[in-house]
């Protein structure tokens, strides 16, 4: 029963919308036809105005001032009618534009209403408790991911420390080997630098007789 009552206003709204759209369409067509009709009548009056102008010149050329004046009077009357036609066309154009704006606003209103109805429908279908459970699971997954990253970083740091320790031991061994080779190298250097006695520097023989 409740579901039936909730659908009834929507059916009424749809019927009203259809009637409004049909009314707007008929008004737009009627205005367009009216504008077209007035424009056609205006063109006829403009042609008649030109004929009155030509007739006034012809009568005046023939010396018939009375008929020339009468034609100018008809010309002035047609000018006033043309001005009224221009005013009517302007008013009808404004009315047509208002109908266009009204139709656009109606479309925008219907679109906004549909969006709001859809948002309301989606919101009503959301279970708050289910949403809280989803958020809780997401936070738990983030925490687990964080712990995994911490363990991986810790393992990598330990591996780097072990590698540094191995390198330090190898470096100490290399330094020890180099230190053993240093005395031997120094000894060989000393032997090479030891001075030698030349044969020309021997003590003079006692048996030699000086003259």
Domain-wise residue ranges, the chain: 7-126, 127-172
Tokens of 53: 């102008």
Rounded (to 5) percent helix, strand, coil in the chain: 90, 0, 10
Q: What Å distances lie between residue 53 and 59, 169, 183, CA to CA?
A: 10, 121, 135
Tokens of 198: 């030349």
3-state secondary structure of 145: helix
In the predicted model, residues of the chain with pLDDT beneath 50 are: 1-8, 11, 207-211
Tokens of 52: 């009155």
Q: What Å distances lie between residue 168 and 154, 174, 178, 181, 183, CA to CA?
A: 21, 10, 15, 20, 24
What is the rounded radius of gyration, in angstroms, for the C-alpha atoms of the chain?
A: 58
Q: For position 195, what pLDDT does the model report?
A: 55
CB atoms within 10 A of CB 8: 9
Q: For position 100, what pLDDT does the model report?
A: 86
Q: What is the pLDDT of residues 32-61, one digit of tens each?
A: 999 999 999 999 999 999 999 999 999 999
CB atoms within 10 A of CB 75: 18
Q: For position 193, what pLDDT does the model report?
A: 58
Q: For position 210, what pLDDT does the model report?
A: 42
> Helices (DSSP H) in 125-198: which residue ranges?
128-193
Buried b (16+ CB within 10 A) or exposed e, 139-173: eeeeeeeeeeeeeeeeeeeeeeeeeeeeeeeeeee
Is residue 101 within 8 Å of residue 23, measured between CB atoms? no
């Amino acid at each position: 029963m409740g579901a039936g009552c909730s659908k009834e206003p929507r059916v009424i709204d749809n019927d009203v919308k259809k009637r409004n759209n049909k009314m707007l369409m008929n008004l737009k067509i009627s205005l367009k036809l009216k504008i077209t009709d007035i424009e056609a009548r205006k063109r006829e009056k403009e042609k008649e105005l030109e004929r009155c102008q030509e007739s006034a010149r012809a009568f005046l050329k023939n010396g018939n001032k009375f008929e020339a004046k009468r034609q100018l009077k008809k010309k002035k009357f047609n000018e006033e009618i043309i001005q009224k036609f221009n005013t009517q066309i302007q008013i009808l154009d404004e009315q047509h534009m208002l109908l266009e704006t009204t139709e656009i606003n109606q479309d925008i209103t219907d679109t906004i209403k549909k969006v709001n109805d859809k948002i309301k429908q989606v919101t009503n279908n959301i279970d708050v408790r289910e949403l809280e459970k989803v958020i809780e699971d997401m936070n738990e997954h983030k925490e687990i991911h964080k712990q995994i990253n911490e363990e991986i970083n810790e393992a990598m740091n330990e591996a780097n420390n072990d590698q540094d320790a191995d390198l330090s031991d190898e470096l100490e061994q290399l330094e020890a080997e180099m230190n053993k080779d240093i005395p031997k190298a120094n000894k060989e250097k000393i032997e090479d630098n030891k001075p030698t006695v030349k044969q020309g520097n021997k003590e003079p023989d006692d048996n030699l007789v000086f003259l």
